[in-house]
Chain A
Amino acid sequence: MKYFIHFSVVIFLILSSSCKQQPISVSKVTTAQKKIDSTLAENKAIDSFIAPYRDHLNKTLDSVLCIAVKDHTKKGGLESTLGNLIADISLLQTSSVFKKKYSKDIDFVLLNHGGLRAPILEGPVTARTAFEVMPFENELVVAELSFEKVKELTVYLAQKQRAHPISNLQLTLDKTTKKAKNIKVDKKPLDQGRSYFVLTTDYLQQGGDSMNFFKDPIALYKTDYKLRNAMIDYFKSVDTLNTALDKRMYYAE
């Protein structure tokens, strides 16, 4: 009853004051970027939910496969130590299998700069490293490209001027005209009369990073070999990683 009286008084006041309630609207906005660092306590329930997943992962991922004697990163102009390493690994790990299966040689490799997601830092290299560099499930494929498509590929590289990883391919780029010169495959100039077997990933072959020259190859050969697994197999087969820049793609003087 008490509430009822109170309520009716309020209603009366609202009616008698002939006051229309204004709609609400935003009058002020404040912002803050919250840094998620070690000063914040960990929520125990969340952490113990993660724990079994984490333990299973760590067991599988953290055994040392080889040692990087220096940092391999994406830094640099038209080539990078990380890009060179991964392109070389792809070629090395795939060429003998490819030769055995199809009796053909892979001519060169083209991957994409954006696909390498983390550096390989000086120190122990594990399967985890391979997952960080190459988290995607991309498989290596070989596209047989016509001479014209290979020319298109070099035009792409010259236009983009990005350190897309290459192996067994050499070229110089003119910074201002954005043209490629001195193009060599296996140290030999491009031959107009033949096609080329280019190793790449299924992602790029299907038009990823707008590498459209890969789209309709003369022939396409699957390897059923994931780029990440190629890396892990290579890491297991060597003691150290130490790849240098070697001017495989650079600006003309």
Chain B
Amino acid sequence: MQNRRKFLQQMASATAFASLGGFGLTSCTKSVTKRITILHTNDVHSQIDPLPGNHYKYPGLGGFARRASIIESIRKENPNTLLLDAGDIFQGTPYFNFYGGEIEFKLMSKLNYDLATIGNHDFDNGIDGLLSQMPNATFEFVSANYDFKNTVLDSFVKPYKVLEKDGVKIGVFGLGIKLEGLVSKNLYKETQYHDPVEIAQDMSRILKEEEQCDIVICLSHIGYDYRKNPDKVSDVNLAKRTKDIDLIIGGHTHTLLAKPVVFDNAVGEKVLVNQCGKSGVYMGQVDFYLDNNGDKTTKGKTIVV
């Protein structure tokens, strides 16, 4: 890894030198290339340690200490890395029952998570239980379709957040699943749910046009798709019915995609949807390469999955 880094650095400076030399003659050829790495998890469900070796589906996978190592090495290779979580941080192991989410938030803070969205199980100790763990989180929460204004979480959760890495603006907004029928009302209290598609259309417009983001990411806990109920709002439907979103990071349905899936959005552009099972058994990595070599809408961006 070290050798490769050195090689890349040498390559980069050689290119810079060459383009500087030819600058005056060829005028507009000075090219800038940037790389933004997005790492993501979903539905970690309090899986602090690896799953047991006799687990029926993912024996021996997951664990925060291993995830910390791989994140560290990816960040070393590319400091312009964001780490995101698509919700359901809580519930699933006795760590949650015993410590109420404290260790989950503290570990995510130690791993330098940037943002998370709120899943239905994050309400399992009530909205007050979630609030009480907020001091343990150095990362922030985004949710655009949950309105918390009449709850204790008001001001703790933003609809979206714009993060900047290497001069690249990355807009991230969150989406949550309908709580009625899934979570007891006495837990989510006065949290209002709004239609994810309509909200996503607003968000992508705000992030692309007003905030001038170079990359727009939706951090979603609405589920990948519902085979028995294909019209139910899902990441797949969201991808097809919106525009200006580059990546939808999903959760809720515990879907383990062999690789991210590419869909055509409402205006025929490519949008990537990913989800990584549950319990932290996999972590998604999406690398965005940006340059100033002109308009991509004519030739389209290349997506390698």
Contact = CB atoms under 8 A, between A and B. Distances in A.
Interface string B1-30: 000000000000000000000011001101
A133 to B, nearest CB: 11
A37 B55 CA distance: 13
Contact of B304 (A23, A29, A119): A29
What 3 A-B pairs come out closest when comparing CB atoms? A43-B68, A42-B65, A22-B292
Number of contact residues on B: which range applies?
Answer: 35 or more
Contact of A36 (B46, B63, B184, B289): B63
A40 interface: yes
A36 B301 contact: no
B301 A23 contact: no
A233 interface: no
Interface stretch (A53-61, A94-102, A142-150): A53-61
A1 interface: no
B272 to A, nearest CB: 6
A208 B120 CA distance: 12
Interface in B44-94: 46, 48-50, 54, 56, 60-70, 72, 91-94
Interface of B: 23-24, 27-28, 30, 32, 34, 39, 46, 48-50, 54, 56, 60-70, 72, 91-99, 103, 106-107, 110-111, 124-125, 167-168, 180-186, 214-215, 246, 257-260, 272, 274, 276, 280-296, 301-305
B49 A54 contact: yes
A36 B304 contact: no
Interface string A215-240: 00000000000000000000000000
A93 B259 CA distance: 46
B301 A135 contact: no
30 contacts: A25-B291, A25-B292, A26-B215, A26-B288, A28-B288, A28-B304, A29-B301, A31-B274, A31-B284, A32-B284, A33-B260, A33-B284, A34-B283, A35-B281, A36-B50, A36-B62, A36-B281, A40-B70, A41-B69, A43-B66, A47-B65, A50-B48, A50-B64, A50-B103, A53-B48, A53-B99, A131-B94, A135-B94, A206-B185, A208-B184
Nearest to A128: B94
B64 A46 contact: yes
Contact of A21 (B39, B186, B272, B292): B292
B97 A37 contact: no
Contacts of B181: 207-210
Given A13-B23, A17-B27, A21-B292, A41 B93 contact: no
A38 interface: yes
A203 B184 contact: yes
A240 B246 CA distance: 54
A73 interface: yes
Nearest to A17: B27
Interface string A131-163: 110011100000000000000000000000000
A41 B110 CA distance: 17
A22 B294 contact: yes
Contacts of B50: 36, 38
A34 B64 CA distance: 14
A17 B304 contact: no
A31 B286 contact: yes
B94 A46 contact: no
Contact of A33 (B63, B259, B293): B259
A162 to B, nearest CB: 11
Interface string A37-75: 110111111110110011011001100000000000100
Contact of B103 (A42, A53, A206): A53
Contact of B66 (A13, A40, A60, A206): A40
A202 interface: yes
Interface in A1-33: 13, 16-19, 21-33
Contacts of B284: 31-34
A124 B87 CA distance: 33
A37 B290 contact: no
A131 B97 contact: yes
A206 B184 contact: yes
Given A26-B289, A43-B65, A53-B48, 7 more contacts: A26-B296, A33-B257, A33-B283, A36-B63, A42-B63, A50-B103, A53-B103
